[in-house]
Structure 1
Amino acid sequence: MARNIEIKARIDSIDSLLPLAAKIASEGPTEILQDDTFFTCSNGRLKLRAFSEHEGQLIFYQRSDSAGPKESFYVISPTASHDTLRQALALAYGEGGRVRKHRTLFLVGRTRVHLDRVEGLGDFLELEVVLNEGESNEIGISVAHELLEKLAVSPRQLVEEAYVDLLAKLPTS
């Protein structure tokens, strides 16, 4: 399985972080609309991500819920039929939540820098430092910390949980 080091932080606004991310980026920005449906999964997380009417991905991943940089193992499978796949997975496993977001993606070397506006939650920064096979977590953690410093994000802004978990904690009306 592929793996990376991930870290997430709540930010005041995407607009304030955009110039800092653009300054250090090797590529971007790329604007992406994402609609993620999560399914009940006992040994990790399973989500179906829809980008457009005929473009999506089924993603399985495993990672701990902790505020600092954490290792994530993942498998991504493209799909052109996310609507019927969503229906089949919901019937088989049950839906566990839905996250809709507007993502601004930058690449800084091998790191994906996401500036996310999450419906119902607000603005976030997410870093994904892609690791090579056999590469130590410490290398990715070091890269993540360097980027947080360059982006002026403090440790108190770090978030432990996935967006779907944060949304589940919101009061329902």
Structure 2
Amino acid sequence: MARNIEIKARIDDFSALYEKIALLSDGLPDLIDQDDTFFVCPHGRLKLRTLAPDRGELIFYQRPDKVGPKTSFYTLSPTQDPDSLRETLTLAYGAAGRVIKQRTLFMIGQTRLHLDRVKGLGDYLEFEVVLADDETPEQGIVIAEDLLERLGINRQELVDQAYVDLLNAQGRRPHD
């Protein structure tokens, strides 16, 4: 499975952070609307990401819920019929939650930086340092820690849970 080092933080000033990241970025950002449905999965997390009516990804991942940089193992399977797949997986496994967000994706080297506007939660920064096969998690953590410093992210802003868990803890659905 592919691996990355992930960090997530709550942010207060989306525009100011956007400007900081834009100065460091390798190019212009992509704006992506995402609708993620999570399914009951005892060995990690399974979500269907709908990007368009005819384009989505089934994503399985394993990642500890802890503050700070953490290793995530994941695999992606594209689909051209996300609505039908969502229905099938919901019937088979049960839905565990849904997250609707608008993601602004920047690239800095091997790192994907996401400025996320999450419906029902607010604004977050999430980044993923994509590890090459020969890179250790420790090498990715060094990159992640450097970016935290360069972006001025305080450790108390770091989040240890997935968006779906934060929404479920509030008892809120993304359409509320």
- The corresponding residue for 1:117 is 117
Q: What residue is the counterpart of 1:131 in the other structure? A: 131
Whole-angstrom CA distance in 2 between matches of 1:58 and 1:9: 24
Separation in structure 2 between the aligned mates of residue 100 and residue 171 of structure 1, nearest angstrom = 15
Map 1:5-154; keep pairs closer than 5 Å. 5-154=5-154
SS of the residue 1:27 aligns to? coil
Unaligned runs of 5+ in 1: none
Rounded Cα–Cα distance in structure 1 between residues aligned with 2:40 and 2:160: 20
Q: Deviations over 1:23-76 (max 9, x none)?
A: 000023110000000000000000000011111000000000001100000000
Task: Structure 2: state its 5+ residue gaps.
Answer: none
The residue type paired with residue 53 of structure 1 is P
* CA drift at 1:14: 1.5
- C-alpha deviation, 1:99, in angstroms: 0.1
> 4+ runs of 1 displaced by more than 3 Å?
none
User: 1:90 is matched by which residue type in structure 2?
Assistant: T
Per-residue deviation, 1:13: 2.6
Q: Return the alpha-carbon distance in structure 1 between the equivalents of residues 171 and 164 of structure 2.
A: 14
Q: What CA deviation, in whole Å up to 9, does each residue of 1:114-161 have, x standing for no partner?
A: 000000000000010000113111110010011111111011100000
Q: How many residues align?
A: 173
Query: Partner of 2:50: helix, strand, or coil?
Result: strand
1:16 CA displacement: 1.6
How high is the sequence identity, in percent, across the aligned residues?
56
CA distance in 2, matches of 1:56, 1:94: 19
1:18 and 1:63 mapped to 2: Cα distance?
26
Question: Which amino acid is the alignment partner of residue 155 of structure 1?
Answer: R
